[in-house]
Copies of this chain bind each other. A is one copy, B any other.
């Protein structure tokens, strides 16, 4: 089966080994957007609020978070420049979104996005493609959370961060999020995250730096992360 050119192009975006975004169907909305800045740790939207806006990340990193009443926390995804926030739900937002670093966003009214999608098929396809990319990401995370050990989770995480946001084509993976964020993303405690990073460092697989982690042996990491569903 051959898909349309648009679809094939769209689907390639998230499979690129280094982040590189083609000009997208969202551009038809440019005139309706305005820039906003959100400071580190501040929220972008809140659980249960009506979905009034969506945002495209220009610079910085965001997280979507689910909170339980007793304080347990789960980070469901990290979001990077080019990602779309607030399109994952129809009527109200399902999770909280917060800025991990100071972040610059371009904000669009959902009304307009939905209206445009309704008479601009490439945009509609683009929106579904984006949603599918998030779904694939979520399914990978489900396999990780359900069936991987702590060290496998850490290795998978480092490779994912490298894949999703490595500004330079080098070994350094910047980790703007705290250890607590990583722990809540991987379903671990902070201490377990630290211990396993140290463990990987002792093996010589990675080097831990202030700003992130240097991948000294990608093959070893891939081996540990269990290949396919890394």
Using a CB–CB cutoff of 8 Å, the interface residues on chain A facing chain B are 1-4, 7-8, 10-11, 50-52, 66, 68-70, 72-74, 76, 88-91, 94-95, 109-111, 114, 117-119, 121, 124-125, 127-129, 131-132, 134-136, 138-139, 141-143, 145-147, 184-187, 226-229
Contacts and interface: CB of A to CB of B under 8 A. Distances in A.
A88 B121 contact: no
A4 B118 CA distance: 10
Contacts of A51: 1
This chain: copies in complex: 2
20 contacts: A1-B111, A3-B90, A8-B91, A66-B139, A66-B142, A68-B147, A69-B228, A74-B147, A76-B139, A88-B139, A90-B132, A117-B121, A117-B124, A124-B124, A124-B125, A128-B128, A131-B135, A138-B138, A138-B139, A146-B184
A72 B139 CA distance: 15
A163 B187 CA distance: 26
B94 A139 contact: yes
Nearest to A90: B11
Given A138-B139, A138-B142, 20 more contacts: A1-B51, A2-B111, A4-B118, A7-B114, A66-B142, A66-B143, A68-B228, A76-B139, A88-B135, A95-B139, A117-B121, A117-B124, A119-B121, A124-B125, A142-B142, A142-B145, A146-B184, A146-B185, A146-B186, A147-B184
A216 B218 CA distance: 52
Contact of A69 (B3, B145, B226): B226
A186 B52 CA distance: 34
Contact of A1 (B1, B10, B110, B186): B110
6 nearest CB pairs, A to B: A146-B187, A145-B145, A138-B138, A124-B124, A11-B90, A74-B143
Q: Which of A50, A128, A136 has the most CB of B within 10 A?
A: A128
B138 A3 contact: no
A94 B135 CA distance: 10
B89 A132 contact: yes
